[in-house]
Amino acid sequence: APIDLTEQLEQVDGATKRLHVARDHHRLFLGVGWSPVTSDETGPFAVTIQGDAEVLLPCGEGDCRTIAVQLWSDAGQRVDITVNGAHLDPLTVGAGWSVYRVAIPASARHVGMNSLVIGPQRPVRLADISVDHAVRSTRPSE
């Protein structure tokens, strides 16, 4: 039977989960193209060391409609985003740390592990990825 990792992300609130690169078991979600996790005065991060760097995102039913990616760049640049082979609109990343929201169409995501590829022109740092979490109503249907 397959292993379900969709509940391994850190629950931030009822609507958000987080992949935090400094958490030991979250490092396992960093695929090829990343440096080992390091830190500076602002906190922990991983750096892209290849043209494309993959993050494995576990998504439950209805999750991952949008994600927020916390990136640092030394200068403005274009960053290509691909999810499960589908090319999304590229990000324009400014200098310094910022959070960039990315909408992932239903046709590009699925329940289970999803491949998020970040393709910068020059190396960028990744700190966290926040994933929207499908909130299920506990009220009976009317």
Residue of 129, 126, 118, 128 whose CA lies nearest to 79? 118
125-132/66-73 β-pairing: antiparallel
Split at pLDDT 50, 70, 90, the class of 3 is: low
Question: What average pLDDT does the segment 85-109 reach?
Answer: 95
Q: Strand (E) positions, 41-109?
A: 43-47, 53-59, 66-73, 77-83, 86-87, 91-93, 96-103
Which segment of 114-118, 131-135, 137-141 scores lowest on mean pLDDT? 137-141
pTM: 0.88
* Average pLDDT of every residue of the chain: 88
